[in-house]
Structure 1
């Protein structure tokens, strides 16, 4: 802005403030407002259109015929004024009649005016009116004049709302670009159904004061906010999570570029010079950015503009002091959380009784928040492009993370259909919940062990709720993922002891920490494996623990102390060769010797086991079997390794079938190789929680399943209806001569016996 434009804007703001603070009635105020704006900008015409009953109505004018006031009305999208409101963009025309959207209204007497400039009056990202100026001479308005108009329109939106000149809620409900139902597509990260109102993880800041009392004081507030924001960005750069190259580094560099961009800071300072408060100045520049975003076709450039929007929101929160997330404010109703991305610790801050689902603009199948959300039973939909452009705070949302879809502002019919489907699901769950005290015994009398997977202290309540036989997999890394620093031994001991206390006489299998690879921790850096192209198959789990022996030693001691006087079941993940098991066990035995020497209470017994996820281990089970008490097959990782199919890749995630003869033959070979040994064999993973897949596992001779708590009832129900001898015989036949489609064959076989009630 030039000094002339700044002065004009400041004069207008001062005049508007005085007008709206006066005791005049609403119409008289608007009549004065157009005179103030027109005189300050030396404009022959100044008009204000406001949204009323779905139409843009001429509310006040200087220069056009007064008889047209409250008579001239334009639909959204009609004429130049309607186009500005529909597209929320500025028009600057030397010859208005030459524009294809021009609509002549004879009652206004505007035929003698040639040039036209108009800006939207925006309220909460929605157009509630239009401010326009016109001249007789043909000319394009200078950029400084347009900026002055935009600044005035921003202030005008607040003033007319506060004066009750528009019904903001009613205007919003009539906004065609934001009221229609929208179906958003994304990637299902945690499957499930949910219904609730949209809540932004980082709520939009409400700007209460627009006009500055002390310009210099506002400038200092912005300077301090910029310093704080830049510190935050630079601190992020020092974290391992952002220092490994690839997308994170690219995002961070974009953030830094904007954070230190002189043009951005200059525009905010110019807005302050015009008389705005720090918050209003940031919002003013943000509005301009949004208008530019709507005109950008280039996807990469649009993403960069989204980054600037994020950064502006961060700056706005800092300068206003409204830094808290929606979790700190508390959820009032059933909520669907909206965010660009989310950390696991941030998710755990929310009230689980109110939080029903999460929709992310980013997110991946292996992100930390997804791992925790899956354990919490909260459906998550990710990779929803343009999410925040379609969803408003408080919108009704139907989340279908089974089909990869979220419906925003659904119709009554859509809500009714969704609720019917939801009710059907609840009925099934109620039937399964009634089986809590039912033991899973097959029709021919074989007792099957049905345990749950867990990772959080709160998960232990599911033991009594489901009647499960124990915890077949306690993921100890959750405590590491949600912690800002490496959890101290005392903290680890306390968690493990609490879990054992809550489980009582039921067994708990603790898996040693599975971090690294696709579960990077910002506080745990290592030189090898950083930025690796396939982290799921890389430097992770036991490989990291053996390299960082101190990490495993601390965990070993914590587990041994927590299990004093009780049985300890400990399982090592991602074992590829027997020597890895030997080294891991030696760490535990070393800590056991230390505790014995210091006269500490020791576990009554220690059962060591491994997870079979790496196919190579299957070739050496004869060497390993005499050393272990149990073996758990991790079907999620095993499947991707067998098929060379990364499950975090959406194109491959559903491509390879658990009921493929390749998988089932491999599992049968593992079971056969352990026959006659004392090794207890089971399955940990999603495969065991699906009825048809669980039936196949039973047919292979696997009698211990560890699954999500939500699946326990349905698997108990399946076990009670299954004749074990019959499915074992059928499975032998299918694997000897596999049918063209084993899934379809098994489905028909199970349906004929009433085994598939889902």
Structure 2
């Protein structure tokens, strides 16, 4: 008899029991009898999760008096180990296993062989199905597979009859149904509150047992066809290019999508009497169990690929496609996800999306860049969210301090609301500074500009009263696009931004993609294997090699700025020749447009970003060639300290107010004195009041920052006397105090200067 036939025999009888009006306990008693009879097993037992413990609910072969008496913790004994690891055990001699525990009330001392499978509900073990025999022997695969399939049907019976608590089924311990605090890494700072919504809603399997096997089989065949078509379309898309890691990923997907063994296992599960959805989930459960036995990281990645593909197949066959964005948000929302792409985030209703919590995520990930531009707080690196947060739970997100409170007590919610109200009042006060020009107490005008990257950002120019856009990240359009943006599309965006800015300058940074901002449609050859992507084949390095990309962008920018001034900034310049090469691409396109009698820009101002420390050593050569220089403090800091900002262990380790970074920045500032070059900062450092105070003291007069920081920085500027702060900074950098941050904060407090 095949495994499918054995399981089908059991399931046919289980179907009758589930449809009957018997009491739930009586159903379980009948289930163990049926399994024992069909598998010729001397002992069959069912343990279920109750109040955090695995309790013996039904048995055939052990002492009946032990039912509802024998209990063990998760991880305790063989049964607890199965539940804890969500794995199958198959032992010829149970007592030889290190986790074996003898329970005298069960009368199991005469049984030697043991096999157990987890009863899984929504990826969590809510019980265990066990068989035992007197004779020592390992159970055959046919028996184990029949047990695993039976356990899946038991999951439906158990959940439908409320035999386990819903919170326990979801992996929520009793104390987790009340308030819970979670901690992570602040990726985008801010405060937010709302109800939890999962980005990828669970595929709910409403029916486990099939009414018609052939109907289920055809549903799976159609789903396979549709899934393979989707994968083929991705793989054959000419925009993806040839070679590179993305092609390897797609080839792996194709291999799994056309794998006959995978399809055969799903078919066998259907043969046993399962619906298409249940069959896919059944095979997926088996895959997860096998993943736990694999030590090879490469093979584990491949198994993850298969699970991703199985999720795709499950969504197709169930018709439960799309994300929470396609279903629409119904109120203030804290979005929960493993990870997100920037395009996925932009699909959400910005009026209702208040915050994001990610299981993964890094400070440099694309979604964080977009979320920061949108003003949406993000907390990342939070593990085990599914076991803590339920759909609809109230969440107070404090991305200022890297924490969130789930299902908060009323006192906590009230305190958070008070803090939130103060924050909003502060923002309202800052808004009053919208039309106020930021002059220092000594009368020096400081340029306070904003960073942007989306068309929607432009409205912030008037809302916050910025002097212009000091950094427009053109790569956003590339990051959120499935294909390379064509020239006409780029032109429309750039023209709209220049139009909206009016007489205020917009500094366009040419595309900074590649490395840690990989896009699927550009082949980067060996760079796909960059061990240090932030320092790899990216930004200007990529653009100069793929000069067609830079030519298209140059044409789009030049045409968009016809009759007006154009400000162009090249990212990650390491040596002057790179700036020259990039500028020549623009000059060639300018000459072409002139030959075509096109309206040209009134003036073109070329600049560079100083992110690579090496550039500081050749400023004497570079400064005479440029109109402006912007220092990108984010990348510069990680390069100076050799510290990856995406690494949570290092993210907060190196201080922007370290004498090392401040001395470097002052040296650059002094090098620009007497040169006709506009020097500025663009990066998060300039958007923090205490850091901005230090920057003013070492000679910086232009700051380009996030829109929400404009008000606080204007407030700071109006309180500062530049002579005083310059003298103080010179002294501290000559003889650094033990903690410059503390010293600067105390200095500001003594003079009534408000700093965050």
TM-score by length of 2: 0.84
Provide, for residues 429-470 of structure 1, a one-character-per-residue CA deviation record: whole Å limited to 9, x for no partner: 344334333332212222211111000011112222222222
More off after superposition, 510-519 vs 227-236? 227-236
More off after superposition, 493-502 vs 674-683? 674-683
**Structure 2 segments unaligned to the other structure (5+ residues):** none
Within-5 A mapping of 1:476-491: 476-491=474-489
More off after superposition, 688-697 vs 461-470? 461-470
Q: How far apart are 1:715 and its partner, in Å?
A: 0.9
Provide, for residues 335-368 of structure 1, a one-character-per-residue CA deviation record: whole Å limited to 9, x for no partner: 4444444322222212233334444444444333
More off after superposition, 483-492 vs 362-371? 362-371
Alignment correspondent of 2:684: 686
Aligned residue among 8, 17, 20 for 1:19: 17
Alignment correspondent of 2:329: 331
More off after superposition, 152-161 vs 18-27? 18-27
TM-aligned CA distance change 1:441 to 1:211, over 3 Å: same
Q: How far apart are 1:474 and its partner, in Å?
A: 0.8
Check whether the contact 2:543–2:550 (CA below 8 A) recurs between aligned residues. Answer: yes
Q: SS of the residue aligned with 2:103? A: coil
Q: SS of the residue aligned with 1:730? A: helix
Check whether the contact 2:122–2:170 (CA below 8 A) recurs between aligned residues. Answer: no
Alignment correspondent of 1:611: 609
Provide, for residues 508-537 of structure 1, a one-character-per-residue CA deviation record: whole Å limited to 9, x for no partner: 222222233433332223557553444434
Q: How far apart are 1:281 and its partner, in Å?
A: 1.1
Check whether the contact 1:454–1:473 (CA below 8 A) recurs between aligned residues. Answer: yes
Alignment correspondent of 1:103: 103
Q: How far apart are 1:568 and its partner, in Å?
A: 2.7
Check whether the contact 1:54–1:174 (CA below 8 A) recurs between aligned residues. Answer: no
Provide, for residues 606-633 of structure 1, a one-character-per-residue CA deviation record: whole Å limited to 9, x for no partner: 3333333344544555555555433322
Q: SS of the residue aligned with 1:701? A: coil
TM-aligned CA distance change 1:415 to 1:233, over 3 Å: farther
**Structure 1 Cα separation of the partners of residues 700 and 399 of structure 2:** 30
Alignment correspondent of 2:695: 697
**Structure 1 Cα separation of the partners of residues 290 and 626 of structure 2:** 64
Check whether the contact 2:199–2:324 (CA below 8 A) recurs between aligned residues. Answer: yes
Q: SS of the residue aligned with 2:529? A: coil
Q: How far apart are 1:219 and its partner, in Å?
A: 3.5
Q: How far apart are 1:744 and its partner, in Å?
A: 3.6
Q: How far apart are 1:747 and its partner, in Å?
A: 2.7
TM-aligned CA distance change 1:409 to 1:154, over 3 Å: farther
**Structure 1 Cα separation of the partners of residues 517 and 79 of structure 2:** 52
Alignment correspondent of 2:273: 275
Within-5 A mapping of 1:181-260: 187-223=185-221, 225-226=223-224, 229=227, 243-244=243-244
Alignment correspondent of 1:467: 465
Aligned residue among 317, 334, 348 for 2:315: 317
Check whether the contact 1:242–1:252 (CA below 8 A) recurs between aligned residues. Answer: no
**Structure 2 Cα separation of the partners of residues 276 and 671 of structure 1:** 71
Q: SS of the residue aligned with 2:461? A: helix
TM-aligned CA distance change 1:746 to 1:215, over 3 Å: same
Check whether the contact 1:20–1:163 (CA below 8 A) recurs between aligned residues. Answer: no
Alignment correspondent of 2:569: 571
Check whether the contact 1:432–1:714 (CA below 8 A) recurs between aligned residues. Answer: yes
Aligned residue among 345, 360, 364 for 2:343: 345
Provide, for residues 489-523 of structure 1, a one-character-per-residue CA deviation record: whole Å limited to 9, x for no partner: 22112112222233234322222222334333322
Check whether the contact 1:237–1:243 (CA below 8 A) recurs between aligned residues. Answer: no
Aligned residue among 713, 716, 739 for 1:715: 713
Provide, for residues 579-610 of structure 1, a one-character-per-residue CA deviation record: whole Å limited to 9, x for no partner: 54444444444444554555544444433333
TM-aligned CA distance change 1:147 to 1:582, over 3 Å: closer
Q: How far apart are 1:146 and its partner, in Å?
A: 3.3
**Structure 2 Cα separation of the partners of residues 49 and 622 of structure 1:** 77
**Structure 1 Cα separation of the partners of residues 296 and 592 of structure 2:** 63
Check whether the contact 2:113–2:138 (CA below 8 A) recurs between aligned residues. Answer: yes
RMSD (Å), alpha carbons:
4.2
TM-aligned CA distance change 1:687 to 1:220, over 3 Å: same
**Structure 1 Cα separation of the partners of residues 672 and 707 of structure 2:** 28
**Structure 1 segments unaligned to the other structure (5+ residues):** none
Q: How far apart are 1:659 and its partner, in Å?
A: 3.1
**Structure 2 Cα separation of the partners of residues 625 and 104 of structure 1:** 85
Alignment correspondent of 2:554: 556
TM-aligned CA distance change 1:406 to 1:264, over 3 Å: farther
Q: SS of the residue aligned with 2:718? A: helix
**Structure 2 Cα separation of the partners of residues 242 and 371 of structure 1:** 28
Q: SS of the residue aligned with 1:633? A: strand
Within-5 A mapping of 1:120-199: 120-132=118-130, 141-162=139-160, 168=166, 172=170, 175=173, 187-199=185-197
Check whether the contact 1:271–1:281 (CA below 8 A) recurs between aligned residues. Answer: yes
Provide, for residues 386-427 of structure 1, a one-character-per-residue CA deviation record: whole Å limited to 9, x for no partner: 666766555555655555556666777776776666555445
TM-aligned CA distance change 1:165 to 1:387, over 3 Å: closer
Q: How far apart are 1:272 and its partner, in Å?
A: 1.6
**Structure 2 Cα separation of the partners of residues 719 and 381 of structure 1:** 30
TM-aligned CA distance change 1:540 to 1:34, over 3 Å: closer
Alignment correspondent of 1:439: 437
Q: How far apart are 1:698 and its partner, in Å?
A: 1.3
More off after superposition, 150-159 vs 698-707? 150-159
Check whether the contact 1:671–1:701 (CA below 8 A) recurs between aligned residues. Answer: yes
More off after superposition, 339-348 vs 353-362? 353-362
TM-aligned CA distance change 1:494 to 1:60, over 3 Å: same
Within-5 A mapping of 1:306-705: 306-384=304-382, 393-394=391-392, 401=399, 425-527=423-525, 529-596=527-594, 598-618=596-616, 621=619, 624-625=622-623, 627-650=625-648, 652-705=650-703
Alignment correspondent of 1:753: 751
Provide, for residues 301-344 of structure 1, a one-character-per-residue CA deviation record: whole Å limited to 9, x for no partner: 76665554434323322333333122222233444444444322
Check whether the contact 2:683–2:704 (CA below 8 A) recurs between aligned residues. Answer: yes
Within-5 A mapping of 1:41-52: 41-43=39-41
**Structure 2 Cα separation of the partners of residues 648 and 93 of structure 1:** 44
